[in-house]
Amino acid sequence: KAGVTQTPRYLIKTRGQQVTLSCSPISGHRSVSWYQQTPGQGLQFLFEYFSETQRNKGNFPGRFSGRQFSNSRSEMNVSTLELGDSALYLCASSLADSTYEQYFGPGTRLTVT
Amino acid sequence: AQKVTQAQTEISVVEKEDVTLDCVYETRDTTYYLFWYKQPPSGELVFLIRRNSFDEQNEISGRYSWNFQKSTSSFNFTITASQVVDSAVYFCALTPSSLNTNAGKSTFGDGTTLTVKP
To test the contact with chain A by mutation, choose from B106, B108, B110 the residue with the greatest count of A C-beta atoms within 10 A, namely B106
Name the more confident of B71 and B99: B71
Rounded Cα distance, B86 and B88, in Å: 6
DSSP string over B17-76: --EEE--EEE-S-SSEEEEEEEE-TT---EEEEEEETT----EEETTEEEEEEGGGTEEE
To test the contact with chain A by mutation, choose from B44, B99, B101 the residue with the greatest count of A C-beta atoms within 10 A, namely B44
Q: What is the pLDDT of residue B72?
A: 94
**pLDDT score of A105 more than 90:** yes
Q: Do B44 and A106 touch (CB under 8 A)?
A: yes
Q: What is the pLDDT of residue A1?
A: 65
Question: Going by DSSP bridges, is the β-strand pair B107-108/B64-69 parallel, antiparallel, or unpaired?
Answer: unpaired
Mean per-residue pLDDT over chain B, rounded: 93
**Chain B residue numbers touching A43 (CB-CB < 8 A):** 91, 93, 108, 111
pLDDT confidence band for A97 (50 / 70 / 90):
confident
Residue among A45, A55, A101 whose CB faces B107 most closely:
A45
Q: What is the pLDDT of residue B98?
A: 80
**Chain A residue numbers touching B108 (CB-CB < 8 A):** 35, 42-45
A66 near B CB under 8 A: no
Instruction: Name the nearest CA neighbour of A20 among A73, A76, A92.
Output: A76
**Chain A residue numbers touching B106 (CB-CB < 8 A):** 33, 35, 45, 48, 98, 102
Inter-residue contact B106 to B100 (CB < 8 Å): no
pLDDT tens digits along A24-80: 999 999 999 999 999 988 999 999 999 999 989 999 999 999 999 999 999 999 999
B64 near A CB under 8 A: no
